[in-house]
Structure 1
Amino acid sequence: MSTRSQLQFVQRVEQTSETDGHADRVAQVYRHSDGYPASVLRDLAQLKELLDATRAERGPGYTAATFVFLDKLSTVGLYLDGDPERTIDAAQPANLLKPSNMEHLDQPLFLLGHGVENPADGIHGDEEYLYVVELPTENPFDEPTEWTVKVSGHSAFPRWDGPTDEGFERASWQFHGPLETALADVVTE
């Protein structure tokens, strides 16, 4: 059974006379499997470590795209080498782009399992967890700063019968604080 989740990567826009009327920058990702806090928070910590080391953090859109890329990359290994029926050679990753190499695979995980969502559409309604990753508003070339995360309670938001467009606003959060603290507090529960 899948543990579905939605993640919002948010960069707060401070309201000034120049930005009045502009909303926060938000990128939203649907994750079909492994959406429970221990998995998502570990993946976020790995993502942050990589972005900090490479100075590649560029706001919500790039961060969300990299999150999806790393998640998909982690499942590609299931389809490379090892199985004689699989025709994808790890030394030739372009083989992944040939549909004829996928004919024997029924819905490969690395092609599915994630969606880039329109935050205005809310959530599907069958997710079990919601997450908000608050990114710093500093220049990405400055020293890395801490990410703040919010982790919903299990199914603690409107679902099938609720206004899913308000899911994030109406969620009950089991944790709100630094990512490092979430790893220590939420993952060990």
Structure 2
Amino acid sequence: MSTRSQLRFVQRVEEPSKTNDDAERVAQVYRHSDGYPGAVLRDLAQLKELLDATRAERGPAYTAATFVFLDKLSTIDLYLDGDPERTIDAAQPADLLDPDNMQHLDQPLFLLGHGVEDPADGIHGDEEYLYVVELPTANPFEEPSEWTIKVSGHSAFPRWDGPTDEAFEQASWQFHGPLDDALTELVAEPA
């Protein structure tokens, strides 16, 4: 059974343009599996660590795209053929796209499992968690800043096909604060 979730990456706009009344830039991602806080928060921490180290954070759209890429990359080995001697040659990345190199699945889940959402279209209605990742408005070449995270309660938001904003506005949030604090409070350490 999947734990579906929506992640909204947002960044305040310091000086909104005259043509853009919205004071936030938003990118939203649907994640089909492992949407419970322990998995999502660990993945966000890994993403932030990578973006901080490489100074590659460039706002919500880039951050959301990198989140999806890393999530797919981390599970790709599950869908390659079962031969332990088989590796993907970095010089031949097209090798990865050869359907004959995947397990016996017609539609490998790494090709599915995520969606880039239009916040105006509404949420699927079967999500169990909503997340908001508030990115700082800092220049990417400055010192990295803390991300603020909001985590909904389990299914603690309305379900409908209206604008997604309404679900995020009416959600009951079990946590709102720095990513490091979310990890401490919501993620149990492995035994």
Both structures adopt the same fold (TM-score exceeding 0.5): yes
In 2: Cα distance, 1:78 partner to 1:173 partner: 33
Q: Which residue of 2 aligns with 1:108?
A: 108
Query: How many Å separate the matches in 1 of 2:147 and 2:117?
Result: 21
Q: Residues 122 and 168 of structure 1 are in contact (CA less than 8 Å); yes or no, is this contact kept in structure 2?
A: no
Change (3 A) 1:9 1:105: same
2:88 match: 90
What is the identity, as a one-letter code, of the residue corresponding to 1:104? Answer: H
Match of 2:80 in 1: 80
Cα-to-partner distance string for 1:58-99 (whole Å, 9 max, x where unaligned): 000000000000000011111335x24x9x742243212234
CA contact (8 A) 2:9 2:28 kept: yes
Seq. identity, %: 78
1:54, distance to aligned residue in structure 2 (A): 0.4
State the match for 1:167 in structure 2: 167
CA contact (8 A) 1:124 1:164 kept: no
Q: Provide the C-alpha distance between the structure 1 equivalents of 2:55 and 2:17, rounded to a whole number of angstroms.
A: 30
Match in the other structure for 2:41:
41
The 1:14/1:127 distance shift into structure 2, 3 A limit, reads same
- How far off is 1:16 after superposition? 6.0
Which letter maps to 2:178?
Answer: P
CA contact (8 A) 1:129 1:151 kept: yes
Deviations 1:90-148 (A, max 9, x none): 22432122345458323212111000000122311110000000000010110000000
The separation in 2 between residues aligned to 1:71 and 1:126, in whole angstroms, is 20
Equivalent residue, structure 2, for 1:51:
51
- Size of the alignment, in residue pairs? 186
Distance apart, 1:20 and its partner CA: 6.5
What is the root-mean-square deviation in Å for CA atoms of aligned residues? 2.4
Whole-Å separation in 2 of the counterparts to 1:66 and 1:9: 11
* 5-14 or 29-38, which deviates more: 5-14
**Conservation of the 8 A alpha-carbon contact between 2:5 and 2:129:** yes
Helix, strand or coil for the counterpart of 1:137?
Answer: coil
Change (3 A) 1:103 1:147: closer
| Other-structure match for 1:139 | 139
CA shift at 1:8, angstroms? 0.2
The 10-residue stretch of structure 1 (41-50 or 102-111) with the greater mean CA deviation from structure 2: 102-111
Q: Which amino acid aligns with 2:68?
A: V
Q: Which residue of 2 aligns with 1:62?
A: 62
Distance 1:61 1:135, change over 3 A: same
Whole-Å Cα distance in 2 between the matches of residues 164 and 186 of structure 1?
28
Taking the aligned partners of 2:17 and 2:65, their CA distance within structure 1 comes to 31
Q: Is the contact made by 1:151 and 1:175 (CA closer than 8 Å) also made in structure 2?
A: yes
Structure 2 residue runs of 5 or longer lacking an equivalent are none
